[in-house]
Structure 1
Amino acid sequence: MARTLISPDNSLLRNVAGCAFAIILIPVAIVAKLVITPFEKPIERSPDDVLALLRRFQDGTADDYDWDDFIGIPISDVELEALRAEAALLNLPFRSEDLDRLHSMIARAEAIVEKRRAT
């Protein structure tokens, strides 16, 4: 059974402790992120990897964690990064217009794969 830090079901003391914890933790997390951000490197993904991920999102075999990993980590390749950035504008669960955009991104990823194989 999961318990939340702040809830009407908790005692006053537990809610006060939860508020204090949140007040301390949030600034620490923000500072840590600001310190770490300059050292983050874009991930190396191949066009085939991106295409496979997009297809998994299309057919529903990828989960929310896969989506978060895909849209949350920049890709070093400029063309693939453009696809990732566009995907970041979509929200789960996909609506019909999101699926249309996803189909378009898959077609572009397929074109990138073919272009790279030809060279």
Structure 2
Amino acid sequence: MPFTRISLRQHHMENHLCQLSAILQQTLFEEFAVPEHDCFQIFEILPDSQFIFNRRYLSRMRSEKFILFHMVAGKPRSREQKKNFYRVLSERLFTQCGIPSDDLMVIMQFNSADEWSFSGGKMYCPEELC
């Protein structure tokens, strides 16, 4: 049940956003054990003056295409799952969108099921915990 905020600069086209969303969702499903229809994403499209980043911090060189994925997920993943997710997402964004791996940053945070309410004002409770 990840929630992902995708921050990027204004120059990305609308059809590009749909492609980013589809690539992220496919990678979550295949590499992160996310149910197929579990999709919660927000695109945060910012003017250059509101999306400030260091072009070289722990990277060869970031460009104007830089994208930040900030994910919050309720179920912890193994180190191997995280490594595979980062790699596959980066490969797909490059081959399908031309986004270099240096222009991709992913932040993952994990929390517990009781920190989610999907609807109805009810705390989420997976069957094995209820």
Bucket of the pairwise TM-score, normalised by the shorter protein:
under 0.3
Q: TM-score, normalised by structure 2?
A: 0.26
Higher strand share: 2
| Higher RCO, Cα 8 Å, sep 6+ | 2
* Rg larger in structure: 1
TM-score normalized by the length of structure 1: 0.27
- The structure that is helix-richer by fraction is 1
